[in-house]
Structure 1
Amino acid sequence: MGNQLHASAIRWLSHVPFPTTLVWLPETVGADEEALLLAAPFLGESPDGLSLCRDPLGKPYPARRGYPVPWLHISNTHDGGQRLLLAAKHENLVGVGLDVVHLPRLRSPHKDRAYLHRLAARFMEPTEYERFQCAARQDDEEALRRRVAAHFSLMEAASKALGTGLKVGAFMGHSASLPLSALGALQLEPSVQLFFDDHAQTRLATLNAQRWEAYWGSDDTYLVSAVFLFDNEQINKLPLDEQTPFMSY
């Protein structure tokens, strides 16, 4: 535990104002269950009898003897041979989403600026793409690569927080999955501004989600993003020194 190899990719954890922890493991069979058991004590939960279950839409949740653990939310993601699990605990949380992008996948001779713009145009809603183009005017190719990855990752994380996932192509997703254009990021910095279309707004209403927070960070290898949904405009924020972010290999 405590390996800081990719610390800059998850530096945003220190700004999350409630108990949150992240476990980072090599991708192996059973890594999600192992990560959940590692995370539980850091959020005041015993790992005894704890298991990872999925709701009818496929969203994972922690359960003990078949019953959801109150206030405890998780999300997992994998890429580049790594498996990450984010666990957060707060009475106002109604959804958590995590996503990771292995940046070397976007580095090859044919994945130049033109390719990155074509990729962005394929998954972004028109207003998002317009704002993306404006923000990216001064980007070099590496900055542009990370910008595209951040937009895509935040879209993925938001869909996981909603519990729907994304409808990608004809065979990915399910009846409740949202199309790529249903949600995204209108702004990445200095803070993230997400958007939700009418379909996504309907899902927010189903969850009684009234507020959200979104974060992202990257290093040379990984970009990691997270989205949190709350059922109240105001939450009782804990002091930052009570937060428990960590990494485990």
Structure 2
Amino acid sequence: MPLPTTLVWLPETVSTDEEAFLLAAHFLGESLDGLSLSRDPLGKPYPARQGHSIPCLHISNTHDGGQRLLLAAKHENLVGVGLDMVYLPRMRSPYKNRAYLHRLAARFMAHVEFERFQRAAQQDDEEALRRRVAAHFSLMEAASKALGTGLKIGAFMGHSASLPLSALGALQIEPWVQLFFDDLAKTRLVTLKAQRWEAYWGSDDTYLISAVFLFGNEQSKQALQLDYP
């Protein structure tokens, strides 16, 4: 069964998350009658109709560089989606050189992820390295949103149940994405009854965007990796 999705660049006239969600739901062909946006105890937004959640319809939004983006996806086996966006020009300051980028990667990656990252980045020029670091960070953010936990990123940001930065990430970003989940993140996967995932990223000169989809059965394309060599 195909996965209906809509990715919406939100105009400045869209001022609230609920207004953005209703716009995306309209593009999916969803009836807007009684449709609203609610949030669970961790702050994750979810669609509701007449006050009841809609299990097959999921949304995620992101903003950076003055732009807002919303993803809505609908599938009977979907249990979570996450979207993230990175404004690449912010990473092109003169002092953000190779050494800085490696230090940044080491701060948010688990040891196993950082080892894989270093090997893959050996032939990167500085611009390719920037995109690689951005892709790893963005996929980590998108995965945390799909799990519904968010991340503990310091400065009192995040919830008590949010995952630490090193709890999840990407062991590989090309030619396909292989996500990483530590024991804490795996516990959340079990709670969601997630059995499969798909993860994607892409960029132009200005924005890098990533998305993670979690499924509850075997209909997605890629098996969930729970053990890492």
* 5+ long unaligned stretches in structure 2: 222-229
Structure 1 equivalent of residue 86 of structure 2: 101
CA deviation string 1:132-159 (max 9, x = no partner): 0111111111110000000000000000
Mapped pair 1:155 → 2:114: no
Amino acid in structure 2 at the alignment position of 1:171: F
Q: Which has the higher contact order (CA 8 A, sep 6+)?
A: 1
Contact 1:18 1:89 in 2 (8 A): yes
Give 1:44 shift.
Answer: 2.6
Give the distance between the partners of 1:193 and 1:31, measured in 2 at CA: 34
Out of 140, 148, 152, which is 2:125 matched to?
140
Instruction: Name the SS of the counterpart of 1:85 in structure 2.
Output: strand
Structure 1 equivalent of residue 17 of structure 2: 32
Out of 68, 71, 74, which is 1:89 matched to?
74
Give 1:169 shift.
Answer: 1.4
Give the distance between the partners of 1:235 and 1:104, measured in 2 at CA: 34
Structure 1 equivalent of residue 57 of structure 2: 72
Normalised TM-score (structure 2): 0.92
Structure 2 equivalent of residue 50 of structure 1: 35
Give the distance between the partners of 2:185 and 2:9, measured in 1 at CA: 29
Instruction: Name the SS of the counterpart of 2:18 in structure 1.
Output: helix
Structure 2 equivalent of residue 185 of structure 1: 170
Give 1:33 shift.
Answer: 2.3
Give 1:126 shift.
Answer: 0.8
Out of 101, 105, 122, which is 1:116 matched to?
101
* 5+ long unaligned stretches in structure 1: 1-15, 237-249
Out of 123, 139, 149, which is 1:164 matched to?
149
Q: CA-atom RMSD, angstroms?
A: 1.7
Give 1:52 shift.
Answer: 1.6
Give the distance between the partners of 1:50 and 1:205, measured in 2 at CA: 29
Number of matched residues?
A: 221
